[in-house]
Amino acid sequence: MIHQLTLEWLNSESQIPQALWDNCFPAPYEGQWWYRSLECSHLEKQFTFTYGLISYNSQPVGIVPAFVMDVPIELLTPPIFLPLAKLIGKIIPSFLYQRIFFIGTACSDEGHIGIDPQFLKNNEITQDDIFLCVQEAAEKQAKKYNTSMLVWKDFPEASHQTLSKISTSKNLFPLVGLPSTLLKLEGNETEDYFASLKTSQRYQLRQKLKKGLSAPLDVSVIHLPDNQTLHQLYRLFSKTYIKEKNRFEELTPEFFEFISREKEAHFIILRHQSSNEIIAFMLCFHLNDHVINKFIGIDYEAPQDWFIYFRLWIECINWSYKIGAKTIQSGQAAYPAKIETGHQLISLTNFCKHRNIIIHKIYKKIASFVDWDMLDQNLAIYLKACPEEKPNLDSLREERQ
């Protein structure tokens, strides 16, 4: 480790200067506003938030978001291995939950270590040096939290080379994560989006929208909704959350209250024309020319031929073109709909270390077999039909051996 580099763990985003947040987490990353909202949302029963402040010769130069969570084993284990995990849990009940120290962001797709770009430009310190410093500090902090595992959560390919080096020296193993989804917007208007789709995608989407756009719904894009609206939004989110199989976090009413105050947050809302009741919403963040399509809520009692999700989606497209966006990031769930609407699948990887060397070896062996089609049934169906879309994981497999 470079001796001039140090890392101090803090308990709140407010302990870090706003200027450093702005430099380390510019668009398209969720910035200080995101972490502020999470901290205010009464999520203490799910997460313990912490932040590593990286300094060089006592000068702050980087930020490491991290959190601690007791994760149910079914969220960590591919379905094919779940019966074995539950069997072990009958013998060792504590095995059913793993207390994990995550390097990365709760409720977010991609892990990111924020480093002031000017610091990297003007010094001999490299990303490798900084990530190694983070790993060593995180191992010590994980012990203080009495966690069984340390995980770099959902890091993109841009960080893979550095994390692979750390895996060799610090005995981590890679585990394929659920992919994120990204749409690149072509041209300047919605018709350009349709033109960019494959013929089959374009035809299917137009057929659904032909019915969906005839439904008696009004659309609005709202910033700072009132309390009554927030209550309806949370109720719809809860309905969608219950239907979701891969549930990692459960948001609170306070989250919607606090996130709505941030200038980046906008709600795309569909209301029934006669009752004025909210039928669906999509929470989106506007980050320069990038949009993050974060959370949705849908009234599943609405007629199926209204194709609510696709109606929401096309309104998101309309709004994104209006604000000059070039990309839309749409998260790690509901893959059939996102693939159908033209999203690319973006590879993400977890890098893991268990404190128990025997369990570490077991998890490492299991991880060596894991691919996308083992993590999500809908992905498996899609990849079987379109094998060319499956990423080349050979290099990652080499690291697993």
Residue 138 shares a structural domain with residue 45: yes
Tens digits of per-residue pLDDT, 248-268? 678 999 999 999 999 999 999
pLDDT score at 397? 47
Residue 309 shares a structural domain with residue 395: no
- Residue where one domain finishes, among candidates 322, 345, 368: 345
- Residue where one domain finishes, among candidates 317, 345, 373: 345
Q: Which residues partner with 156 through β-bridges?
A: 348
Tens digits of per-residue pLDDT, 158-200? 999 999 999 999 999 999 999 999 999 999 999 999 999 999 9
CA distance 332 to 341: 15
Contact status, residue 355 vs residue 170, Cβ threshold 8 Å: no
Residue 333 shares a structural domain with residue 235: yes
pLDDT range class, residue 334, cuts 50, 70, 90:
confident
**In total, how many domains does the chain have?**
2
Residue 388: is its pLDDT beyond 80? no
Residue 190 shares a structural domain with residue 172: no
Written as one string, the DSSP assignment of 294-330 is EEEEE-TTS-GGG-HHHHHHHHHHHHHHHTT--EEE-
- Of the segments 16-30, 71-85, 245-259, 366-380, which one has the largest average pLDDT value? 16-30
Percentage with pLDDT > 90 across the chain: 73
Residue 173 shares a structural domain with residue 261: no
pLDDT score at 400? 43
Contact status, residue 115 vs residue 29, Cβ threshold 8 Å: no
pLDDT score at 79? 66
pLDDT score at 95? 66
Residue 235 shares a structural domain with residue 92: no
Both tokens assigned to 206: 């137009």
- Residue where one domain finishes, among candidates 345, 364, 384: 345
Contact status, residue 206 vs residue 314, Cβ threshold 8 Å: no
Residue 188 shares a structural domain with residue 269: yes
CA distance 335 to 69: 25
Q: Show the domain range for 314.
A: 181-345
Residue 91 shares a structural domain with residue 117: yes
Written as one string, the DSSP assignment of 102-148 is EES-TT-SS---EE-HHHHHHSS--HHHHHHHHHHHHHHHHHHTT-S
Residue 329 shares a structural domain with residue 387: no
Residue 299 shares a structural domain with residue 388: no
- Across residues 366-393, what is the average pLDDT? 76
CA distance 103 to 254: 24
Question: Residue 158 is part of a domain; what is its CATH number?
Answer: 3.40.630.30
Residue 294 shares a structural domain with residue 308: yes
Contacts 24+ apart (CB under 8 A), 263-268: 263/33, 263/223, 264/31, 264/33, 265/223, 266/221, 266/222, 266/223, 266/319, 267/221, 267/222, 267/223, 267/225, 267/229, 267/233, 268/219, 268/220, 268/221, 268/312, 268/315, 268/316, 268/319
Chain-wide mean pLDDT for the chain? 90
pLDDT score at 369? 86
Tens digits of per-residue pLDDT, 108-137? 889 999 999 999 888 889 999 999 999 999
Residue 308 shares a structural domain with residue 361: no
